[in-house]
Structures are given as structure tokens and as C-alpha cells.
Amino acid sequence: MTEARTNRGHDHDHGDPHAPIVADGQPSYYEIMETAIRELLVERGHFTAAEIHRQIDLLDSRTPALGAAIVARAWTDPAFKVRLLADGRATVEDLGISFYDDTGLVVLENTPEVHHLIVCTLCSCYPRPVLGLPPEWYKLKPYRARAVAEPRSVLAEFGTVLPDEVEIQVHDSTSMARYLVLPRRPDGSDHLSEAELAALVTRDAMIGVRLVELPQGSRS
């Protein structure tokens, strides 16, 4: 079995490695803190509620469909893929997708030998300009801890069972470096258009917890 390797920008206590990756339906620590800090900053005049709403509208305009289109382009345009892997942010910006912060974007290609998994052990750093808001489970401590400590088990819980010989590399996002997984193109998809390929790509595949698969009966 190939052991997982972690690329981490900071070290943290990973807590209980056996806690399940589930939400309990209650507001998370980060949701409570966000509300409290937002209300305090508005009260003190650092910005207005209208400015907050404009920023929320900008965030809401970003969805995993942007990332899926990027993946599909990379699958169908070898030159674009080379540029994307060399400089993710600049290549994405060339498509007209703006970044509203100073973060970089590193694109990691899954291969038959290596599978990439994204996590942020410190909080929930995430490639929001191309994927939108992170899913709740991405922000929970069980995922943040266990993705590093036992990534193969975490992947299995998402239904992703990889051969033992596949190396799993775990990448820990930081405040300045965000990651996007370029999943493997599914076998039998040569007949699909770029738009049809993009429709197959899920948010979870671009985080690395799932594979991209063809619907049954759609292979060429």
C-alpha cells in the first residue's frame, strides 16, 4: 500500500481521528463567529450592511460550474491544460474569471498513480473564486483532522475506493495558496462535448473526495 503524503503550509493538532464527518444541524463555530464579527464591524462603521450584501452577491455568483468548465476545457485542450497546471490563477483569469483576493490557485492533476485530496486543517480556506462557498463538511473538524490522518478511510466514506498502489497526496490550503483538483477524465467519454463533460464534473471531484463517472449507458 502506498502511504498518503501531505503537503502542508502549517501544522496543527488534528484532534480525534475517528470522529465521523457529519453535521449535527446546529450553527457551526465559524457561523456563530462570522455573525458576531459582522454585526460588530457594521456597528462600529467599518462598512455598511449594503456593502456586505454586495459582497455576498459576488460570492453567490461563484459556483462549482465555473470550476467544472475549467476542468472540461483542460480535458479537451492540451495547451490550456499545460498552462493551467503551470499557473492556475493566471490561466483562469484569462477566461474572464476574476479573483477578489490575493490568493494563488494551484491546480493538481489526478493520474492513475496519484490521487490528490484537498483540506484546510486550520479553518476552511477554499478556492472560492472558482468553486463558490465550501460545503459544510469541508469546514468540520472531523474532516479537517481525518483527511490528513487517514485519507484513504475518508475517501471510502465518500464512496471513493482507490487501489492500494495509488498514492494519496493531501494538500493543506493556506491563506494564500488554494488548490483545485483536476480529476481524471472518465473512460468512454470521448464522444462528449466540452459542455457535456463539464456537466459530469462535481464540486466533490474538484476537492478530491470523489471521482468523475459517466452515467450508466452513456459510454461510447
A 10 A CB-CB count for 166 gives 15
Q: Which of 61, 125, 175, 189 is catalytic?
A: 125
Candidates 177, 204, 220; CA nearest to 71 is 204
Asked if 173 is an active-site residue, the reply is: no
Which H or E run contains 180? strand 177-182
The C-alpha atoms of residue 25 and residue 148 are separated, in whole angstroms, by 24
Q: Which of 28, 61, 98, 123 is catalytic?
A: 123
Question: Is 175 a residue of the active site?
Answer: no
Active-site residue among 28, 61, 98, 120?
A: 120
Q: How far is CA 91 from CA 59, 96, 104, 107, 218, in A?
A: 20, 9, 11, 10, 31
Active site residue 193: no
C-alpha 121/C-alpha 174 separation (Å) is 9
Q: Which of 28, 61, 98, 124 is catalytic?
A: 124
Is 125 catalytic? The answer is yes
Q: Catalytic residue positions?
A: 120, 123-125
